[in-house]
């Protein structure tokens, strides 16, 4: 939020004071009862490859339309570069080392901090997580507060959607919290055939071939 002041005429402007400043939000529609909450995490999705953030290719028409009526963060950062640590922060609002502890050779989510799901469970919500990343799994204590925790590594979005809709049929009468974790744009990059000619460069190679060749153009695609 930036304010600029100028004088009315040729004389230089004087001191500008603003006492007891307040910023009022736009009038919001009242929410009756407990709203349903859905958190969608698309693993490894880059903002600079989305139209809403200025990407020139039409890769995200639905997200772009959704963004027009949403709050869009232009300068947001994850707490870590790896999934299992970053999601721990997402679930607890803590820094990674505060949310995780070493156990069985890996870092598990600590039991002490209350997670988002546990807080909503106490408020009467039905909670379900549907993860396609094997690191966001009950083996690492990510199921705290969830009534249902589904994990199938690298399951494509369409069959996952069917599983979620089936859960909703039986749980939509209560306020619910859904956590959906997608891996479709994570490596290895295998776009559906219908999109390969539209968005994949002709010189694209599979992951291992690109790394072995050392071609910077190919490596850039692999690391996107």
* Cα-only R_g, the chain: 23
Q: What is the pLDDT of residues 119-134, one digit of tens each?
A: 999 999 999 999 999 9
Rounded to an integer, what distance in angstroms lies between the CA atom of residue 146 and that of residue 138?
Answer: 10
Q: What is the pLDDT of residues 138-176, one digit of tens each?
A: 999 999 999 999 999 999 999 999 999 999 999 999 999
Helices and strands per DSSP (H, E), number in the chain: 8, 6
Contact 23, 1 (CB under 8 A): yes
Provide the pLDDT confidence category of residue 208 given band limits of 50, 70 and 90. Answer: low
Contact 82, 90 (CB under 8 A): no
What does the angle CA 196 – CA 200 – CA 206 come to, to the nearest 5 degrees?
90
- pLDDT of 191: 77
5 pLDDT higher than 80: no
- pLDDT of 207: 59
Where exactly are the structural domains of the chain?
37-66+76-186, 189-224
Rounded to an integer, what distance in angstroms lies between the CA atom of residue 148 and that of residue 195?
Answer: 33
Phi, psi of 90 (to 5 degrees): -60, -40
- Provide the sign of the torsion angle of the four alpha carbons 64, 67, 68, 69, taken in this order: positive
Q: What is the pLDDT of residues 169-201, one digit of tens each?
A: 999 999 999 999 999 999 887 778 888 778 777
Ranges 12-26, 82-96, 194-208: which has the least confidence = 12-26
- pLDDT of 139: 93
- pLDDT of 32: 75
Provide the pLDDT confidence category of residue 56 given band limits of 50, 70 and 90. Answer: very high
Cα distances from 73 to residues 26, 70, 100, 160, 175, in angstroms, run 18, 10, 26, 27, 27
Pick the CATH number of 37-66+76-186 from 2.60.40.10, 3.30.70.100, 3.40.720.10, 3.30.450.20: 3.40.720.10
21 pLDDT higher than 80: no
Mean pLDDT of the chain: 85
């Amino acid at each position: 939020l930036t304010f600029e002041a100028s004088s009315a005429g040729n004389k230089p402007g004087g001191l500008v004071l603003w006492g007891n400043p307040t910023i009022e939000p736009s009038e919001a529609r009242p929410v009756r009862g407990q709203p349903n909450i859905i958190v969608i995490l698309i693993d490894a999705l880059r903002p600079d490859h989305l139209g809403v953030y200025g990407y020139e290719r039409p890769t995200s028409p639905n997200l772009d339309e959704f963004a027009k009526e949403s709050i869009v963060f232009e300068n947001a950062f994850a707490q870590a570069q790896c999934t299992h640590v970053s999601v721990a922060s997402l679930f607890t609002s803590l820094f990674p080392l505060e949310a995780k502890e070493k156990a069985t050779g890996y870092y598990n989510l600590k039991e002490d901090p209350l997670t988002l799901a546990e807080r909503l469970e106490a408020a009467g919500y039905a909670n379900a997580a549907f993860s396609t990343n094997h690191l966001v799994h009950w083996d690492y204590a990510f199921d705290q507060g969830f009534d249902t925790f589904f994990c199938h590594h690298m399951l494509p979005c369409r069959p996952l959607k069917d599983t979620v809709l089936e859960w909703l049929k039986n749980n939509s009468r209560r306020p619910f919290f859904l956590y959906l974790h997608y891996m479709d744009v994570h490596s290895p990059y295998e776009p559906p055939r219908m999109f390969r000619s539209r968005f994949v460069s002709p010189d694209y190679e599979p992951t291992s071939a690109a790394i072995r060749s050392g071609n910077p153009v190919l490596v850039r695609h692999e690391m996107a």
